[in-house]
């Protein structure tokens, strides 16, 4: 006889210190499912509550989980300047439709050290009139840094918005050599 919850998805998480502050990394058996900026205190707790509600299971803190080991290693290497690309299995279950299509294109089509405009990215997925919808997709990105929404900028040269905050976006673009290092 099956035990209750036997087939529930297991979700593990940990918080990793980075050059842009603490990042929460969460993974399932399918791959990395969520990256959350500023993951301390109430912000971390809210992120975990949202994740539990969306995936239907309580995330378990497991910093030594094999499901997280490679993601931790690659994130740390990225922030140390030793990694330019992520090569991780990703669990796309928190995003669907147009948003998923745009984020998948971003993940494979905009390499380290380059940026793309919202409208240009919309054109790449066959919707040149959907720049605003691309902005919405960037804001819904459950995997920032790994799926590099920080590389999407305004066509007029502006930096654009960012879920982790504009200062975080500037730091990530500086890390990739797109912008100069912030002075403070």
Residue listed under structure tokens 């912008």: 179
Residue 181 has pLDDT above 80, yes or no: no
d(CA 111, CA 26): 23
The catalytically annotated residue of 149, 152, 153, 173 is 149
Element (H, E) at 8: none
- State yes or no: is 89 an active-site residue: no
- Tell me the three-class secondary structure of 156-175, residue by residue: CCCCCCCCCCHHHHHHHHHH
142-154 pLDDT tens trace: 999 999 999 999 9
pLDDT, tens digit, 9 for 90 and up, residues 19-75: 999 999 999 999 999 999 999 999 999 999 999 999 999 999 999 999 999 999 999
Cα distances (angstroms) measured from residue 90 to each of 36, 37, 58, 107: 15, 18, 19, 11
Could you list the beta-strand ranges (E) of the chain: 12-16, 23-28, 31-36, 60-61, 116-117, 152-153
Band of the pLDDT at 182, cuts 50, 70, 90?
low
Per-residue pLDDT tens digits for 71-126: 999 999 999 999 999 999 999 999 999 999 999 999 999 999 999 999 999 999 99
Whole-model pTM?
A: 0.91
Helical packing angle, 97-109 and 131-139, nearest 10°: 90
């Amino acid at each position: 006889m099956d035990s209750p919850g036997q087939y529930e998805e297991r979700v593990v998480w940990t918080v990793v210190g980075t050059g842009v502050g603490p990042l929460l990394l969460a993974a399932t058996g399918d791959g990395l499912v969520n990256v959350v900026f500023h993951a301390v205190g109430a912000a971390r707790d809210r992120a975990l509550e949202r994740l539990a509600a969306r995936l239907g299971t309580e995330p378990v803190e497991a910093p030594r989980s094999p499901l997280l080991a490679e993601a931790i290693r690659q994130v740390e290497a990225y922030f140390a300047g030793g990694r330019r690309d992520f090569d991780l299995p990703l669990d796309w279950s928190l995003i669907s439709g147009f948003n998923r299509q745009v984020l998948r294109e971003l993940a494979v089509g905009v390499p380290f050290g380059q940026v793309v405009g919202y409208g240009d990215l919309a054109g790449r997925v066959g919707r040149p009139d959907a720049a605003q919808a691309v902005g919405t997709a960037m804001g819904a990105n459950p995997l920032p840094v790994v799926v590099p929404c920080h590389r999407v900028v305004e066509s007029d040269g502006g930096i654009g918005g960012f879920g982790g905050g504009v200062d975080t976006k500037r730091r990530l673009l500086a890390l990739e050599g797109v912008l100069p290092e912030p002075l403070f």
